[in-house]
Amino acid sequence: MPEYPLIQAFDSRNPDYLPLWYMRQAGRYLPEYNEIRKGKTFLDLSMQPELSIEVSLQPHRRYAMDGIIMFSDILTPVHAAGVPLHFEEGRGPVLEKTIRTESELSLIDDYDPARDNGYVGETLQGIQAYIDGLDAELLPTLIGFAGAPFTLASYIVEGSTTRKFELTKTAAFRDTTFFLKLLGRLADITGEYLCYQIENGAKVVQLFDSWGGILHADHYEEFSGQFNRKILSYVRRKAKKPFRFIMFTGNSAHLTDQIASMEPDGMSLDWRVPDHIIQELPAELLLQGNLDPLILYGNKERVIETTKSVIERFRGKKHIFNLGHGIHPSTPLENVEAMIQTVREHRD
Ligand code: CP3
């Protein structure tokens, strides 16, 4: 029987094997990604299954990771629900419309993932077909994902990536009724979207709350936590197949208790979380992380030593090795290789 070590990690069924994947593993640090991306937009890649399947598989073909995350973006369902956007070089996502008032909420259409994001289902099925065709005892696990409502809302309100979150926080603290309605609508869309991904083969789904950490702990529940909980309970009730749910929150050392209390199957930690907090997290909770992605810009000795210290930090815990946030586009490949090699040497 083939095994999925990444799933086994949730049950401590293969405690000597440390599974590995990393956020943004399909992307611009890989020459083969840049090759396929030439002359095409990011949306071309993510909306054409034959291309998104290939791009999703690139990191596995090169490094045989234990997880294959589908190639897409957290904003894909936002685009599909009537808020069009494109990706600009050096700027990231740029939305063609913003939503800042209650009357603008009607810009978001009815959403049906099979109808509006059918290419995502096809991509997932294509990746799983590749996995099923592998001649190996230990198989990679198909990972789906979505953006958390608070993080998606920050894009919809601001119109692009922001450092300051002034408009997002104005909406939250001044136009609270509007902002909560927007978050509620995004939670409904995200619940449907994740059920659809699970139906189409995702065995692990990760909810990315990349910007949730900009909230004070007193405001986290109101503007992010309650919606993430709602999504998790919806998907647990409605999904037609078994799955594991990982919650990722950027810059969230101050929120770990609140996130753990939502009882996800796994929690993805960024590199700033202090060790004593990690030690206090419940033993049944799988932890994922948490090498600083910029360590990979250091020298090889530093990469090896820090990778080892991440492994040690989680010893005795259920653990999936990952970065603390997505890999950066100009990361040197020899350091990616050194990290992967170090994880593999420490498996037994
Ligand atoms: O992890 C993977 O390999 C799967 C693919 C994936 C992408 N985006 C591809 C992408 C995933 C999981 C995401 C999630 C995502 N997208 C997040 C959450 C994770 C995180 O890093 O916090 C966020 C905040 C976004 C929004 C987004 N999309 C930004 C800020 C950018 C620009 C930054 C950048 O790297 O250029 C994007 C574009 C994007 N999404 C690219 C890729 C590979 C670059 C596209 C390109 O120009 O080729």
Q: What are the structural domains, with CATH classification, of the chain? A: 5-345 (3.20.20.210)
Q: Name the one residue in this structure whose structure tokens are 């659809």.
A: 196
Ligand 1 in reach of 144 Cβ (< 6 A): no
Mutate which of 24, 63, 163, 336 for ligand 1 pocket (most atoms within 8 A of beta carbon): 24
Ligand 1 in reach of 161 Cβ (< 6 A): yes
Ligand 1 in reach of 46 Cβ (< 6 A): no
The string of pLDDT tens digits covering residues 157-171 is: 999 999 999 999 999
CA of 44 relative to ligand 1 center, distance in Å? 14
Ligand 1 in reach of 23 Cβ (< 6 A): yes
Mutate which of 87, 162, 269 for ligand 1 pocket (most atoms within 8 A of beta carbon): 87
The pair of three-digit structure tokens given for residue 329, joined into one six-digit string:
């586009």
Give the Å distances, CA to CA, from 40 to 55, 85, 89, 273.
Answer: 13, 15, 12, 38
Backbone angles phi, psi at 273, to 5 degrees: -70, 120
Does the pLDDT at position 176 exceed 90? Answer: yes
Q: What is the mean pLDDT of the chain?
A: 97
Does the pLDDT at position 348 exceed 80? Answer: no
The string of pLDDT tens digits covering residues 273-304 is: 999 999 999 999 999 999 999 999 999 999 99
Say if CB 87 and CB 42 are below 8 A apart. Answer: yes
Ligand 1 in reach of 179 Cβ (< 6 A): no
User: Facing residues of 87 across strands?
Assistant: 93
Give the Å distances, CA to CA, from 292 to 270, 323, 325.
Answer: 7, 6, 7
Residue with the nearest Cα to atom 21 of ligand 1? 326
pLDDT band at 89 (very low <50, low <70, confident <90, very high): confident
Ligand 1 in reach of 291 Cβ (< 6 A): no
pLDDT band at 59 (very low <50, low <70, confident <90, very high): very high
The string of pLDDT tens digits covering residues 29-51 is: 999 999 999 999 999 999 999 99
Does the pLDDT at position 221 exceed 70? Answer: yes
Return the pLDDT at 1: 80
Do the strands 266-268 and 244-249 form a parallel or antiparallel pair, or are they unpaired? parallel
Mean pLDDT of 114-136: 98
Give the Å distances, CA to CA, from 35 to 42, 57, 87, 333.
Answer: 13, 14, 18, 16
CA of 323 relative to ligand 1 center, distance in Å? 14
Nearest CA to 93 out of 159, 47, 152 is that of 159
